[in-house]
Amino acid sequence: MIIKSVIRKYEESDKEAIQEICYLTGYMGESAKNFWRHKQSFVEIWMSYYIDQEPNNIIVATMDDKVVGYLTGCLSTSTGPEMEKIMYAKIVKYGLFFRLGTADFLFRAMKDDWKHKQSAKGGFIDERWPAHLHINLLPSARGTGLAAILIDNWLTRLKKFNSSGCHLSTISQNTQAIKFFKKMGFRKHGEPLVISGMRGWNGENLQQQIMVLDINSTK
């Protein structure tokens, strides 16, 4: 059976689908419910800025007309989403310190902040790599080449705007993701930092790894 795959610009009708994918893949490619059980606040934290402020920088992947993945991006992180402010606003809006499924994570994050001298905080700002991206695909779309095409489309867009570089953040323990991003031309930048509140399958601290790509180094 031939499957029709398409990469295209975001349309308003895609909103619900990409929010669902965001939640279903929010924990190293698996569901965010593994650490954050309030779906609405999660998708608002990670998707609302891009949908409301930079929809032109969202690229969608479909298979047989079903949305199976997306890439959200920002041309200038310095003027983009302020994640700590967004997180705080959603904590207040939804009373997340008093909700089962989010309170444990937030109190654990507070303990981690006190325990670790260095932890991942907010966005990564560096004029050498001003743009950033987030990419998520459903399991059915992985290994199909769609992720590479999404990133290629994003890098083409950055070249159009004469961007000097792009960065992303991933979890250092997610070796498959790091391997893929290296294949796409990204390289590790700096030492990984503890992500406050986050834990792996065996209860270990998870760490954020920044990866960068110089636009003039790509074909």
Q: What are phi and psi of 184, to 5 degrees?
A: -85, 0
Asked whether the predicted pLDDT for residue 60 surpasses 60, the reply is yes
pLDDT at 172: 96
pLDDT at 132: 98
Q: Is the dihedral of CA 51, 61, 174, 79 positive or negative?
A: negative
Asked whether the predicted pLDDT for residue 1 surpasses 90, the reply is no
- The residues with which 207 forms a beta bridge, in sequence order, are 194
CATH number of this structure's domain 5-217: 3.40.630.30
Residues above pLDDT 90, as percent of the chain = 91
Mean of all residue pLDDT scores within the chain: 95
CB 173 within 8 A of CB 209: no
Dist. CA 176–CA 208, nearest whole Å: 14
Quick one: tokens of 87? 């997180």
pLDDT at 217: 62
pLDDT at 116: 79
Q: Where are the beta strands (DSSP E) in 10-125?
A: 58-63, 66-74
pLDDT at 181: 98
Asked whether the predicted pLDDT for residue 219 surpasses 60, the reply is no
pLDDT at 216: 81
User: What torsion, rounded to 10 degrees, do the Cα atoms 214, 78, 111, 104 define?
Assistant: -100
pLDDT in tens, 118-159: 777 777 999 999 999 999 999 999 999 999 999 999 999 999
| Average of per-residue pLDDT across 61-89 | 95
pLDDT in tens, 170-211: 999 999 999 999 999 999 999 999 999 999 999 999 999 999
Asked whether the predicted pLDDT for residue 2 surpasses 90, the reply is no
| Average of per-residue pLDDT across 161-165 | 97
Picking from 28, 135, 8, the residue whose alpha carbon sits closest to that of residue 73 is 135
Locate the domains of the chain by residue range.
Answer: 5-217
CB 141 within 8 A of CB 107: no
